Structure 1
Amino acid sequence: MREAKVETVYQIPVISPAGKRELAANLPGEVNPHLLWEVVRWQLASRRRGTASTKTRGEVAYSGRKIYPQKHTGRARHGDIGAPIFVGGGTVFGPKPRDYSYTLPKKVRKAGLAMAVADRAKEGKLLLVEAFLGVQGKTREFLAWAKEVGLDGSETVLLVTADEAVRRAARNLPWVVTLAPEGLNVYDILRTGRLVMDLKAWEVFQERLGGEA
């Protein structure tokens, strides 16, 4: 029998011009570490360029001439100097260009994203923002805003916003990782300490969870 999906209502703080308020959200009540590992492994595999390449003994730039006679030399038998046992010779079973990506079910990817966000909400590390007041694209403006809301750089922050000016203002800070709403992913959530999203990014996240599998 299929297990029922267990969800928990989280009260997520929202920073708005009128002050702080809370938004109720249904997110997974339990986090499956192995499922998160599967999604991160899939993400990193998809990012691999797969361009590593080595030359076999047939590809190295050496003559194929036998280096000395087969017999009566008192030495071991050898063919050409491009053999793998010689320095500079070909490589045995070395890497060749390949595609490391593979398919992961959409339901698994969607569940992993929901669990990663739920984990940040459970730890009190998820913050929603209605408007970035005073941030017009300058780093000093974002620093002033961050200080006002309690972000002081003591931990890394994943900033997900549809406002390009805000992303531009924050991208030079070493403790901030910026993403557009469509780019929200499990790996970046887990490798940063806090998750900050504007309401547009939150809507995109909810649509991704509610879409057809």
Structure 2
Amino acid sequence: MEVKVLDINGKETGRSVQLADSVFAIEPNKHAIYLDVKQYLANQRQGTHKAKERAEVAGSTRKIKKQKGTGTARAGSAKSPVFKGGGTIFGPRPRSYSFKLNKALKRLARKSAFTIKAQESNLFVIEDITFDTPNTKNFINVLKALGLESKKSLFVLGESNKNVYLSSRNLKRASVVTSSELNTYGILNANSLVLTEGSVEGIVENLSK
């Protein structure tokens, strides 16, 4: 799969890159995508929720009324879940929502996500970006040149670049990651995926292990 390389002004450079069909042109596996996205979202949950059960609620354990003769149901402690202020029945407890997925399945999910972006023509390859200093205005100019200023976009760098990252940090619709930080959710959550020339080799290498 051959894709033309654009410069940061959105113009063609006259160069092109060959994207491996084994990564960018496979048969998408939607179930693998579902599992990988599900795991990513599960890992974002803190799992610190907690409700007090009857043994943990503060209050007296004295029997609140006699057992018989009241005409109502028998009742013991005021901490019983049937009373206001009592404990919670089967309330949430702190837990981890994470679960394990095989590496091969996660690689398949990312390949499927790349393929979907390529099929939708929402994948671009641009020359490597370098800024001398962090400058949000410069990054906005890049977005405008590519026609992405009003779209959610994900930029993938070959290696970490602090100035480029800081230039994009204040923008709600733009994110910058390295090829090693990519995940299926991030790829699919972006309207447009922008790869730098230097990131292509790293992506293929990471997904070919």
TM-score, scaled to structure 2: 0.88
Matches within 5 A, 1:166-185: 166-185=164-183
Matches within 5 A, 1:72-83: 72-83=69-80
Q: 1:95 aligns with which of 92, 96, 111?
A: 92
What SS is found at the alignment partner of 2:97?
coil
Q: 1:30 aligns with which of 9, 27, 30?
A: 27
Q: CA deviation at 1:70?
A: 0.9
What SS is found at the alignment partner of 1:187?
helix
What SS is found at the alignment partner of 1:12?
strand
Question: What is residue 158 of structure 1 aligned with on the other side?
Answer: 154
Superposition RMSD in Å: 1.9
What SS is found at the alignment partner of 1:167?
helix
Q: CA deviation at 1:74?
A: 2.2
* 1:169-206 deviations in Å (ceiling 9; x for gaps): 11211211232332111001111100112233323212
Contact 2:30 2:112 in 1 (8 A): no
CA distance 1:181–1:206, shift in 2 (3 Å): same
* Structure 2: gaps (5+ residues): none
Aligned-partner Cα distance in 2 for 1:12–1:87: 65
Aligned-partner Cα distance in 2 for 1:175–1:135: 23
CA distance 1:148–1:20, shift in 2 (3 Å): farther
Aligned-partner Cα distance in 2 for 1:124–1:136: 32
Matches within 5 A, 1:1-213: 10-16=1-7, 19-25=13-19, 26=21, 27-132=24-129, 136-153=133-150, 155-161=151-157, 162-211=160-209
* Structure 1: gaps (5+ residues): 1-9
* 1:113-172 deviations in Å (ceiling 9; x for gaps): 11101111121111122222667311111111222233232x210122232211211121
Aligned-partner Cα distance in 2 for 1:200–1:21: 14
Equivalent pairs counted in the alignment come to 201
Letter in 1 for 2:144: K
CA distance 1:159–1:46, shift in 2 (3 Å): same
Q: CA deviation at 1:20?
A: 4.7
**Greater mean deviation of Cα atoms: 23-32 or 58-67:** 23-32
Identity fraction in percent:
34
